[in-house]
């Protein structure tokens, strides 16, 4: 059967197209020469294509290994080898009497050696639909329009708005920006969050185009900001184009008993006593009926997801990947996926989301961990949910032997379970958690203590947009209100984070304080790579040091509602009377005496001169 193919304009940006019929697909839409792994599998989708016998016109360095079908008659998987001698150009693949012209591009110089985010960086997380509106975009073909009055609807934020305010992010001292997913989520409702993809290769047109995303990344780079892509491997949206014509019945996980939700029992994967049925329900159950769970045990799907990840990194010059619902995916697939990504980009960083309060569970997934069951991961970083929980408890509980500030002390003491604790991402909150300021009972002092800790401890800090403005939310989970609009992101807003207009005195102070903290951190090398020594909390005060052979920083967190006079004799291993010290946040320099005064409900960060 004669089949027509296209690389749809919205997917290819400036790449050449094959035809005008957008319902026929070739994915990935292009590839590159010079990749370390020379294999490439194309997914072709079109009416009756499965029985076609493709042939490849002679092309130096590229060979056609073969092709195969799945269950559907409308998919064909074509395996190619793009050898080390291949040059950029255009492959000509004959399929069912039609010539498919497939672009092979040159990699950007230095692409494989790109430096990913790490302890030197500070991450700024934003929700694109809620950050800023910068353009009037068409919504043709989109099932959900803009309803800004609905907390759970689309509010109209877009890439243009994000791009206009990159200066705000960079000016605060952040060096990486992490937007929640931007790919198409064409669902009838609740589509703004991005975690229910309906097209893995297309930016949602309500945010802009693939070209707009490229322009956003490029401009971010000029401002000293890397961009981290949020990628979902575990599930898709029920409106994904696959669901109308699955390549095979087992492309998504389906229970013989009918619809089954995951029970979120993530410890079944490490539990030596867990039942196989519980393990299967955790990984194969769906989040909700609108999010089909992908079966990465299917080889073609595993390859598809891996190539899709590489495509975004290579095409747009990303500095890292954040992987949603990490442990819910098949763990053997995760091993292969992470190994392939790190093979192509050895210095890149990937951070996985494992929402567990237990360090041993989070450590299980980090690269270098020697696990009890022999499981091997190649993912360098994980979100530090255990320390996030410890931080919130430390600032809201009364202090005791195992409570309050001792949560931070013991949390860091658990770093022995991690192969690379400094590469964990510690966060104040995210799009799934209540706002920090609200959880801390709207106490500005406690909020500053939390950010000071995140910025100075041995982790990669991540801050959720709006924390710098003391944004609030219900303390129970309420996603729509947690992901509230950034003030000033829409024409007519009465207050603006970006100009300062209409902000309260408390908000202005917090904005300025956050700016000073993270701009100092950006140049504080000892915070990026120095050692850490901590002292057990006493009387509501917690002290630790970051240091190396040439530099020392003393961090004091005073949780009390009155000033603390802190005797230095206890810390003689790291600081002595007579040394000079600069107050990082206040700017004053002093000669240390036998003690230092720490204001109530405040952090004190001192750079100690040798």
CATH 2.60.40.10 domain residues, the chain: 9-107
Tokens describing residue 502: 């209409």
Bridging pattern class, strands 460-464 and 425-427: parallel
Phi, psi of 450 (to 5 degrees): -60, -50
Rg for the chain, CA atoms, rounded: 26
Q: For the residues of 229-245, what is the DSSP string, one character each?
A: EEE--SB--TTSGGGGS
pLDDT at 191 (0 to 100): 96
565 is catalytic: no
CA atoms of 50 and 71, how far apart (whole Å): 9
Question: What is the distance between the terminal CA atoms of the chain, rounded to a whole angstrom?
Answer: 79
Bridging pattern class, strands 349-352 and 381-382: parallel
**Can you tell me which residue has the tokens 């790291």?**
574
- Tell me what percent of the residues of the chain surpass a pLDDT of 90: 93
For the segment 240-287, what is each residue's pLDDT rounded down to a tens digit?
999 999 999 999 999 888 899 999 999 999 999 999 999 999 999 999
Alpha helices in 457-504 (DSSP H): 479-482
Q: Which one-letter DSSP state was computed for residue 160?
A: H
Cβ–Cβ < 8 Å for 213, 182: yes
Tokens describing residue 377: 């991961």
CATH 3.20.20.80 domain residues, the chain: 121-254+293-526
Q: How far is CA 607 from CA 353, 412, 513, 527, in A?
A: 34, 22, 17, 11
CA atoms of 325 and 161, how far apart (whole Å): 28
Alpha helices in 330-384 (DSSP H): 331-344, 359-363
Cβ–Cβ < 8 Å for 25, 45: yes
Among candidate residues 158, 230, 314, 324, the one labeled active-site is 324
pLDDT at 4 (0 to 100): 27
Phi-psi domain of 117 (left: phi exceeds 0; alpha: psi -120 through 50; beta: other): beta
- 185 C-beta neighbours (distance < 10 Å), count: 28
CATH class of residue range 9-107: mainly beta
Coil/strand/helix, residue 335? helix
Phi-psi domain of 61 (left: phi exceeds 0; alpha: psi -120 through 50; beta: other): left
Tokens describing residue 272: 């030596």
Alpha helices in 532-595 (DSSP H): none
CA atoms of 30 and 101, how far apart (whole Å): 10
Sheet with 580-583, side-by-side order of all strands: 531-538, 541-547, 552-558, 602-608, 580-583, 589-591
Tokens describing residue 198: 């309906």
How many helices (H) and strands (E) the chain has is answered by: 16, 26
Coil/strand/helix, residue 79? strand
CA atoms of 436 and 379, how far apart (whole Å): 28
pLDDT at 66 (0 to 100): 97
Residues ≥6 apart with Cβ < 8 Å to 367: 338, 342, 377, 378, 379, 380, 419, 420
**Can you tell me which residue has the tokens 């693939």?**
210
pTM equals: 0.94
Among candidate residues 293, 353, 354, 399, the one labeled active-site is 353
Tokens describing residue 297: 């045990």
In CATH terms, 531-608 corresponds, of 3.30.2000.10, 2.60.40.1180, 1.20.1730.10, 3.40.140.10, to 2.60.40.1180
pLDDT at 36 (0 to 100): 97
512 is catalytic: no
Tokens describing residue 137: 């975009």
pLDDT at 353 (0 to 100): 98
Residues ≥6 apart with Cβ < 8 Å to 68: 76, 77
CATH 2.60.40.1180 domain residues, the chain: 531-608
Mean pLDDT by 10 residues, the chain (610 residues): 29 32 76 98 96 96 97 97 97 92 97 98 98 91 95 97 98 98 96 97 97 98 98 97 96 89 96 95 95 98 98 98 98 98 98 98 98 97 98 97 97 98 98 98 98 98 98 96 98 97 98 98 98 98 97 98 97 97 96 97 96
pLDDT at 575 (0 to 100): 97
Domain 121-254+293-526, classified CATH 3.30.390.50, yes or no:
no
């Amino acid at each position: 059967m004669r089949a027509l193919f296209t690389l749809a304009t919205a997917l290819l940006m400036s790449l050449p197209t094959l035809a005008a019929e957008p319902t026929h697909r070739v994915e990935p839409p292009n590839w590159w020469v010079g990749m370390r792994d020379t294999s490439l599998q194309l997914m072709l989708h079109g009416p009756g294509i499965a029985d076609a016998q493709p042939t490849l016109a002679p092309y130096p360095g590229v060979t056609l290994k073969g092709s195969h079908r799945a269950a559907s008659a409308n998919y064909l998987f074509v395996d190619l080898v793009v050898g080390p001698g291949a040059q950029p150009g255009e492959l000509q693949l004959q399929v069912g009497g039609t010539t498919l012209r497939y672009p092979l591009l040159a990699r950007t110089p230095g692409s494989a050696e790109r430096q990913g985010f790490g302890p030197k960086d500070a991450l700024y997380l934003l929700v694109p639909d809620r950050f800023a509106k910068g353009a009037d975009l068409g919504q043709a073909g989109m099932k959900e329009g803009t309803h800004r009055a609905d907390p759970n609807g689309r509010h109209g934020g877009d890439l243009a708005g994000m791009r206009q305010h990159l200066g705000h992010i960079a000016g605060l001292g952040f060096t990486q920006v992490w937007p929640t997913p931007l790919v198409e989520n064409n669902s009838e409702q609740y589509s703004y969050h991005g975690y229910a993809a309906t097209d893995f290769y297309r930016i949602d047109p309500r945010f802009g185009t693939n070209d707009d995303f490229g322009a956003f990344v490029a401009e971010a780079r000029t401002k000293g900001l890397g961009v981290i892509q949020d990628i979902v491997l575990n599930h898709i949206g029920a409106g994904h184009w696959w669901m109308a014509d699955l390549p095979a019945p087992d492309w998504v996980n389906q229970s013989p008993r009918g619809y089954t939700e995951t029970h979120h029992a993530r410890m079944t994967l490490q539990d030596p006593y867990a039942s196989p049925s519980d393990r299967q329900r955790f990984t194969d159950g769906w989040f909700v009926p609108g999010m089909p769970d992908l079966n990465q045990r299917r080889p073609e799907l595993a390859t598809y997801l891996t190539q899709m990840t590489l495509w975004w990194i290579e095409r747009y010059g990303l500095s890292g990947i954040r992987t949603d619902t990490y442990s819910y995916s098949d763990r053997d697939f995760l091993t292969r996926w992470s190994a392939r990504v790190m093979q192509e980009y050895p210095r890149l960083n990937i951070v996985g989301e494992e929402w567990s309060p237990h360090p041993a569970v989070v450590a299980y997934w980090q690269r270098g961990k020697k696990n009890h069951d022999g499981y091997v991961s190649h993912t360098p970083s994980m979100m530090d949910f255990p320390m996030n929980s410890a931080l919130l408890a430390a600032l809201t509980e009364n202090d005791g032997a195992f409570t309050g500030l001792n949560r931070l002390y013991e949390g860091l003491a658990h770093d022995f379970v991690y192969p690379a604790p400094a590469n964990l991402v510690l966060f104040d909150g995210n799009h799934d958690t209540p706002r920090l300021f609200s959880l801390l009972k709207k106490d500005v002092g406690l909020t500053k203590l939390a950010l000071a800790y995140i910025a100075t401890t041995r982790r990669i800090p991540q801050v959720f947009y709006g924390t710098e403005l003391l944004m609030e939310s219900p303390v129970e989970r309420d996603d729509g209100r947690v992901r509230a609009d950034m003030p000033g992101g829409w024409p007519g807003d009465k207050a603006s984070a970006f100009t300062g207009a209409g902000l309260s005195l408390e908000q202005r102070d917090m904005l300025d304080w956050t700016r000073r903290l993270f701009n100092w951190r950006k140049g504080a090398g000892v915070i990026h790579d120095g050692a850490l020594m901590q002292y057990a909390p006493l009387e509501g005060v917690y002290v630790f040091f970051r240091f190396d052979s040439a530099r020392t920083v003393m961090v004091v967190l005073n949780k009390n509602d009155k000033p603390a006079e802190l005797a230095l004799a206890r810390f003689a291993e790291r600081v002595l009377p007579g040394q000079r010290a600069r107050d990082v946040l206040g700017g004053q320099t002093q000669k240390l005496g036998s003690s230092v005064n720490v204001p109530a409900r405040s952090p004190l960060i001192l750079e100690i001169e040798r």
